[in-house]
Structure 1
Amino acid sequence: MSHSTPILPGATIGIFGGGQLGRMTAMAARAMGYRILVLDPDPGCPARFVVDGCIEAGWDDARGAANLARGCDVVTLEIEQIAPRSMDAAAALTPVRPGRAMLEIIQNRIEQKSWLARNSFPIGPYRAVHSLDDTRAAILALGGRCFCKSATGGYDGRGQGKVGFNPDASVDEEALGAWEALGQAAGVVEQAISLDKEISVLVARSPSGEVKVYPAAWNHHEHQILAWSVIPAPIAPALEAQARKIATDIADTFALEGILAIEFFVTKDEGHGEKLLVNELAPRPHNSYHASERACVTGQFEQHVRAVCDLPLGDTEVVQPGAIANLLGDLWHNPETAKFDKEPNFAAALSVPGVRLHLYEKLRPRKARKMGHLSAVASTAGEAVARVQRALQLL
């Protein structure tokens, strides 16, 4: 285990990104006594209202990145799209955690899949594609039913498509549709698998090499967007142990400095039991671990601060089961005016025992935009999900 100097409260933490994840990281850091600067292209980003300063600059603005780093004792991130030159400009002036080498692999799905395969981590069958012909060949090679994802960018269903689910479409039509869903740019085509459930595991690793792994979260998606998540996941202890080991091994192989969420598919084959496949990696706080703020001894945002500052990592054990439900901009849509000017009934939602409201101060609701979330705790995971869903219906 290596030794580095902890960055103690009173220091300044820089964050690439001022979205809701940056906002909640900043709130946790401020509670611990840190000052916070963020860099974001949006002058009205959610973090702006809770930080000491906000630099308005793009992810590829090396000068802006250097300006961020000059005022900080350490820099971290809440979004993957940071350009390598911006990471380099910041790293020349102060530690950047996680670092460029790891980020470059994760921010490109082709590189990410290749890295996972090279390091013998379990992934489903896939093909990298760079053209329409590649896409057609990949669909045929993978059996026809596939999901397509752009190599860079794309989240919450953006830059994604599926093929093989329309019996009336030809392979050529499906391939063209998939290529267009990829933005006619490089991507991956993944074989559709027999999915039992989706889980994620969050792992924290400090520069000194200390590792802490959170219990798995069970995630439910609707239209490729996380709808609700609960900690702990209702999975067998053996599967939980396997997921934790994979998460630890990935963190150690990367020499992670910070936190990393690993999304898993859980498959169920007749006669073979449950099997884990790594879906995607996210080197930052993760939507599926918002419930950790209430379910676990140490929430993910405090853990993020501890990890990048090389402080002792916090206890990750579950105190009580907790669930979250995302609040999308659709809730504000008023069919009578065709505008997003309807106020959800937050008071009604908060009448459900154990429920709290978390809004991100995003100024303009729009369809599928994450505006906030509800959280709930209960004596069982099932009851926590039921409470948060009941509160969501009352909105």
Structure 2
Amino acid sequence: MPDLPLPPGSTIGVIGGGQLGRMLSQAASRLGFDVVILDPEENSPAGRVSRGQVVAAYDDPTALTVMGRVCQVVTFEFENVPAASMETLAEGGALVAPGPTALKVAQDRVEEKAFLNAVGAPTVDYHPVDSLDDLKAGLERLGTPAVLKTRREGYDGKGQVWIKSAKTAAAAWAAIGERPAVLEAKADFVRELSVIAARGWNGETAVYPLGENIHSGGVLKTTLAPAAVDAKTDRRARAIAKAVLDGLDYVGVIGVELFDLGDGVLRVNEIAPRVHNTGHWTQDGCVCDQFEQHIRAVAGWPLGPTTAHARVEMTNLLGDEVEQWSKLAAKSDARLHLYGKAEARPGRKMAHVNRVKNL
């Protein structure tokens, strides 16, 4: 295991070559690090801005051996990386951050909810579902409407279905492919908030101001930050973030999505053990953005400041919305972040724009 903090010139490995990996690589480069990406897609968005890319599956033994040998620390950009891959790297002596435990917890919605409630970060009521009979029992206990989600995978609204009547249980069970799932009670929330937080190897933590999120079709469309929240809500969100970080013995940046029920009462929707879409506003609203913060954390550097110096409206550009790039680039209050993806498929995240306003 290398000595920390890692000096400039060290190599950081990132598993995953999408836009988050790309922005992590760009942040690492600013701090003097080299970055190697592992991704099965040749010329991935992250690979094209990095020192190199290993083109292989995320669980390829040879590729993992190479990553462990050439990188002083290995991290990941999305939570569907096999936890076993991170375990293989750690067992081989590589420094891994966040650790495999965070992936295991975040990859299974039932395990995630059990963990969150155990550390004092409460969720909505839920019921594990492994069969149609389980689903019927859950609906009887939780009532309707309720949302049925696959236990594993699924993001941006995929792998889930709302159930408005117990009569549609069989159809809902079929709609998710009759896979292991979790039934969640409906959260009677005012709005959705999120908190981006970081923890270093020494247990130091840093928390960014909250963001308020607006979704469309199950996909995040806009984040407004810093969100207008009272002191009680802010304190509770920070306490939840710290409980999650400490409970996982976490190293790196994490995103925690929250349901705001009002009067300082929050419920955790889910956690993402990585830099997060709702934290993109920090690129233009804070001195140290979430991507640099993650690199600082995994490299053992001091965590950077999280105070906002501007108010930001972050908007995702999906599919052919990216064709607005020329018009957006001409706006004096907008900063455009393009992901370098070749194909603008419907619903695909192609870029985001941060509209910056004075506090």
Q: In which range does the TM-score fall when normalised by the shorter chain? A: over 0.9
The residue identity in structure 1 corresponding to 2:309 is V
Deviations 1:295-344 (A, max 9, x none): 11210000000000010000000011112100101436xxxxxxxxxxx2
Q: State which of 340, 343, 346 in structure 2 corresponds to 1:367.
A: 346
Q: State which of 285, 297, 300 in structure 2 corresponds to 1:307.
A: 297
Matched, 1:326 2:316: yes
Aligned partner of residue 38 in structure 1, secondary structure = strand
Residue 114 of structure 1 is matched in structure 2 by 114
TM-score (ref. length: structure 1): 0.87
CA distance in 1, matches of 2:105, 2:132: 24
CA distance in 2, matches of 1:50, 1:358: 14
Moved more, 344-353 or 26-35: 344-353
Residue 144 of structure 2 is matched in structure 1 by 144
CA distance in 1, matches of 2:94, 2:134: 42
Aligned partner of residue 238 in structure 2, secondary structure = helix
Are the equivalent residues in 2 in contact too, given 1:63–1:89 (CA < 8 A)? Answer: no
The residue identity in structure 1 corresponding to 2:269 is N
Report matched runs for 1:143-162 at 5 Å. 143-162=143-162
Aligned partner of residue 315 in structure 2, secondary structure = strand
Q: Which runs of 5+ in 2 are unaligned?
A: none
Residue 42 of structure 2 is matched in structure 1 by 43
Are the equivalent residues in 2 in contact too, given 1:66–1:93 (CA < 8 A)? Answer: no
Moved over 6 A (4+): none
Matched, 1:163 2:163: yes
Matched, 1:53 2:52: yes
Compute the displacement of 1:251 (Å). 0.6
Residue 75 of structure 1 is matched in structure 2 by 74
Matched, 1:211 2:205: yes
Residue 349 of structure 1 is matched in structure 2 by 328
Deviations 1:190-241 (A, max 9, x none): 1112120101111111111111111111111111100000210111121011
Compute the displacement of 1:135 (Å). 1.5
Are the equivalent residues in 2 in contact too, given 1:293–1:300 (CA < 8 A)? Answer: yes
TM-score (ref. length: structure 2): 0.96
Aligned partner of residue 59 in structure 2, secondary structure = coil
Are the equivalent residues in 2 in contact too, given 1:26–1:36 (CA < 8 A)? Answer: yes
CA distance in 1, matches of 2:172, 2:287: 44
Identity, % of aligned pairs? 38
The residue identity in structure 1 corresponding to 2:324 is N
Report matched runs for 1:132-281 at 5 Å. 132-164=132-164, 171-172=166-167, 174-268=168-262, 273-281=263-271
Residue 33 of structure 2 is matched in structure 1 by 34
Q: Which runs of 5+ in 1 are unaligned?
A: 165-169, 333-343, 381-395
Compute the displacement of 1:59 (Å). 2.5
Deviations 1:367-387 (A, max 9, x none): 11101111111025xxxxxxx
Aligned partner of residue 309 in structure 2, secondary structure = coil
Residue 167 of structure 1 is matched in structure 2 by none
The residue identity in structure 1 corresponding to 2:198 is A
CA distance in 1, matches of 2:9, 2:235: 37
| Alignment RMSD (CA, Å) | 1.6
Are the equivalent residues in 2 in contact too, given 1:59–1:81 (CA < 8 A)? Answer: no
CA distance in 1, matches of 2:302, 2:63: 31
CA distance in 2, matches of 1:60, 1:151: 21
Residue 23 of structure 1 is matched in structure 2 by 22
CA distance in 2, matches of 1:181, 1:119: 33
Aligned residues: 357
Aligned partner of residue 195 in structure 1, secondary structure = coil
Deviations 1:246-303 (A, max 9, x none): 10121112111111111000114xxxx3410011001100000101011112100000
Are the equivalent residues in 2 in contact too, given 1:296–1:320 (CA < 8 A)? Answer: yes
Deviations 1:109-133 (A, max 9, x none): 1110111122232111111111122
Deviations 1:177-196 (A, max 9, x none): 32233321111111112120
Matched, 1:287 2:282: no
Compute the displacement of 1:139 (Å). 1.9
